[in-house]
Amino acid sequence: MHSPANNPVYERVRRNPKFHELVRQRSRLALVLSAVVLVGYYAFMMVVAFAPGLLHKPMSDESSLSVGFPIGAAIIILSWLLTGVYSHFSNGRFQDLTDEITRETLQ
Amino acid sequence: MTARRILLAASAATLFATLAAVPALAAGDVGQLEKQPVNLSAIGMFIAFVVMTLGITYWAASRTRSTSDFYTAGGGITGFQNGLAIAGDYMSAATLLGLSSLVFAKGYDGFVYTISFFVGWPIILFLLAERLRNLGHFTFADIASYRLDQGKIRTFAAIGSLTVVCFYLIVQMVGAGQLIKLLFGLDYNVAVIVVGVLMVVYVTFGGMIATTWVQIIKAVLLLGGGILLAFLALSRFGFSLEAIARSAIASHKDGVKIMGPGTLLADPVSAVSLSLGLLFGTAALPHIMMRFFTVPNAREARKSVFYASGFIGFFFLIVCILGMAAITIVGTDPQFFEGGKVGGKLIGGGNMPVMHLAKALGGDLFLGFLSAVAFATILAVVSGLALAGASAIAHDLYARVIRKGEATEREEMRVSKIASLVLGVLAVVLGIAFEKQNVAFLVGLTFGVAASVNFPVLILSMYWKGLTTRGALAGGIAGLISAVTLVVLSNAVWVVVLNNPAPIFPYEQPALFSMTLAFIVTIVVSKLDSSASARAEREAFEDQFVRSQTGIGAAAAARH
């Protein structure tokens, strides 16, 4: 299971331009999505720490619920949906590309 | 240091304990926790759960022939099943009881905490899941030592895993004893022994197959129970969240303040350190990482995180609704307070709101059901921990380091079973020894060590070509020493255990400092390492990178 350095199979993969395309595109997706989640979450935490009043605001004049609740729920739901986005692309297009690379390499 | 700081540190301490291990908090109240009358319906339902899971263990035993079956269920768990099992690992008794009681006590602050506990999952998927699956075989040490010195790094990673496993086992055992004493009316020692024996039976006979199914069944029961309870609670308020909120404001002593952030996370350093500890500590818990090796390929690994985070997110939202509903239903009902004094001390302690809510809405039968689920939850988590510990001993230390890969599968299996038995005995002995201790600090240690020792080497070995054996060792040791030292100097040990007036380290979670230090030391030492072996290790990154991206070479590990 531990391959020696410069295994010829891996060398062949590295020479395949599709591999670099896969790495570039999938890494970009992962980075963008991570950034969305982390920036969103830490922005929220900064509001919690420095401007809590914003989250105390009622949703409307008669409402008891504050805007903080839907915002918090949205963070949970949106981050979950982003895992769906990542899985969709990774298991679709990127997995097909990976399978192609594997096939071409092991031929 | 200001008094406010100390107060914040103290409340963060309590909250961290509540969240990561409700039981740990209960342990602080040992003196006050009265043994309850024996609860027959709870015991009946728990026995039904045990009989069912023992049946599964019997079935799993016949399918557990190889080490791969034992450690990873032969890679034969589907993404959906694994998603449920991961969710089960994450939705512990602590999340059900702890998060709901936080919302009950603090309102919106509890919700903020819940969100912090959740956002790690997407990050684990984006950055770790498929590389874990593609590089790993049985344990986290497989990945850490992939291109580094097998003897040194594998030993170190295995020790890191075992440390985390032991700390967390103690927390769970003490919690189990307290919770069961409270909910079932059983003796503490009996409860700890029951948990220890069942754990050893599941793991030694059924391995990962049984452990996974115990976890799946428990997750389904917990989700089902939570949904039913939320339905009953919502029906009291005409299915209107607005009505729950209005009523909660009227019932809570803090009134409208519970609708927004309060004092809990007002200090950003505490908040960030805590969220880092939860985020990366969770990602580096050995029994969670192990779950990624139970699926056949990276495709299923991704699916499992998608399903898991869906279940977890949904459950967390439900738990918050339960907490808000409990403010009115439990918080204004004298039968749930000691001496019938509303607003005084809750019967059974601060973690009980959701249990009281079950009794208020569904009577003794529903309370019994939820108690049985809480017991099952602890059982499932300790089984996962024991399996992770056994694999570190048998696969990493025995088969790879001591026997240098020469051990037969039979020998390795035998060692892993002995290891689970030893871990079981150790867990029972420590569980009993720590009965009267406040074990909250062990929770800080578990997550702190996972985030500062296991996580840096894991992520750097995957993402950074320059990592060398020396760097990984130096960084790991720096992370271990700093995490342990900071926890000792924090409120949970310095004040609570050692009775000093004020903590030297004002925050509960050391991760922000110890993890950063571990990363810096690892990177600096690696950069300064100009040995021949370091060069070879850097060169080996390219091949590891291809495998981590494509899974070529890993596929063989999954096909048995």
Q: Which residue of A has its CA nearest to B135?
A: A1
Q: Evaluate whether residue A38 is within a structural domain.
A: yes
Q: Are A65 and A71 in contact (CB under 8 A)?
A: no
Distance from CA of A19 to the nearest CA of B (A): 8
Length of chain B: 560
Q: Return per-residue pLDDT of chain B as tens, 560 residues.
A: 344 444 444 444 434 443 443 333 333 344 345 566 777 888 888 889 999 999 999 999 998 888 899 999 988 899 999 999 999 988 877 778 888 998 999 899 989 888 988 888 898 899 988 898 899 888 989 999 989 998 999 999 999 999 999 999 998 898 888 888 878 888 899 989 999 999 999 999 999 999 999 999 999 999 999 999 999 999 999 999 999 999 999 999 999 999 998 877 667 787 788 888 888 888 889 999 999 999 998 899 999 999 999 999 999 999 999 999 999 999 999 999 988 888 888 888 888 899 999 999 998 889 889 988 888 888 999 999 999 999 999 999 999 999 998 889 899 999 999 999 999 999 999 999 988 877 777 877 888 899 999 999 999 999 999 999 999 999 999 999 999 999 899 888 888 888 889 999 988 789 999 999 999 999 999 999 999 999 999 999 999 999 999 888 875 544 43
Q: Which residue of B has its CA nearest to A105?
A: B552
State the pLDDT at residue B267.
75
Burial class (CB in 10 A: 0-12, 13-18, 19+), B32: exposed
Select from B122, B241, B302 the Cβ nearest to the Cβ of A33.
B122
Q: Evaluate whether residue A60 is within a structural domain.
A: yes
Distance from CA of A61 to the nearest CA of B (A): 13
Taking the Cβ of residue B404 and every Cβ of chain A, the question of whether any pair is shorter than 8 Å is answered with: no
pLDDT in tens, A22-73: 999 999 999 999 999 999 998 998 898 888 899 999 998 888 999 999 999 9
Interchain CB distance below 8 Å, B260 and A55: yes
Select from A19, A66, A80 the Cβ nearest to the Cβ of B310.
A80
State the pLDDT at residue A6.
67
User: Which of A15, A62, A80 would best serve as a mutation to test chain B binding (most B beta carbons within 10 A)?
Assistant: A80
- Set of chain B residues whose Cβ sits within 8 Å of the Cβ of A58: 259
The domain tally of chain A equals: 1
- Set of chain A residues whose Cβ sits within 8 Å of the Cβ of B130: 90
A–B CB contacts, 8 A cutoff, strictly below: 187
Q: Evaluate whether residue A2 is within a structural domain.
A: no
Which 3-state string (H, E, C) describes B53-76? HHHHHHHHHHHCCCHHHHHHHHHC
Q: Which residue of B has its CA nearest to A74?
A: B115
Interchain CB distance below 8 Å, B306 and A84: yes
Q: Would you list the DSSP string of B74-85? A: GG---HHHHHHH
Q: Which residue of A has its CA nearest to B117?
A: A76
Distance from C-alpha of A86 to C-alpha of B432, rounded to nearest angstrom: 45
Q: Evaluate whether residue A49 is within a structural domain.
A: yes
- Provide the ipTM: 0.91
Distance from CA of B128 to the nearest CA of A (A): 10
Distance from C-alpha of B346 to C-alpha of B440, rounded to nearest angstrom: 20
Distance from CA of A57 to the nearest CA of B (A): 8
Instruction: Give, in degrees to the nearest 5, the angle at Cα B389 between B97 and B57.
Output: 75
Contacts of B214 (CB under 8 A, 6+ apart): B53, B56, B57, B202, B376, B379, B380, B383
Distance from C-alpha of B285 to C-alpha of B453, rounded to nearest angstrom: 11
Distance from CA of A68 to the nearest CA of B (A): 6
What are the distances in angstroms from CA B73 to CA B253, B258, B302, B390, B475? 51, 46, 18, 15, 33
State the pLDDT at residue B23.
37
State the pLDDT at residue A61.
87
State the pLDDT at residue B559.
41
User: Which of A25, A28, A83 would best serve as a mutation to test chain B binding (most B beta carbons within 10 A)?
Assistant: A83
CATH number for the domain formed by residue range(s) B3-558: 1.20.1730.10
Q: Which residue of A has its CA nearest to B558?
A: A1
Residue range(s) defining the domain that contains residue A39: 8-106
Q: Which residue of A has its CA nearest to B299?
A: A91
Interchain CB distance below 8 Å, A13 and B552: yes
State the pLDDT at residue B265.
67
Domain boundaries, chain B: 3-558
Residues 12-41 of A with CB under 8 A from B: 13-14, 19, 22-23, 26, 30-31, 33-34, 37-38, 41
Distance from CA of B101 to the nearest CA of A (A): 17
Q: Evaluate whether residue A95 is within a structural domain.
A: yes
State the pLDDT at residue B3.
44
pTM: 0.88
Interchain CB distance below 8 Å, A64 and B246: yes
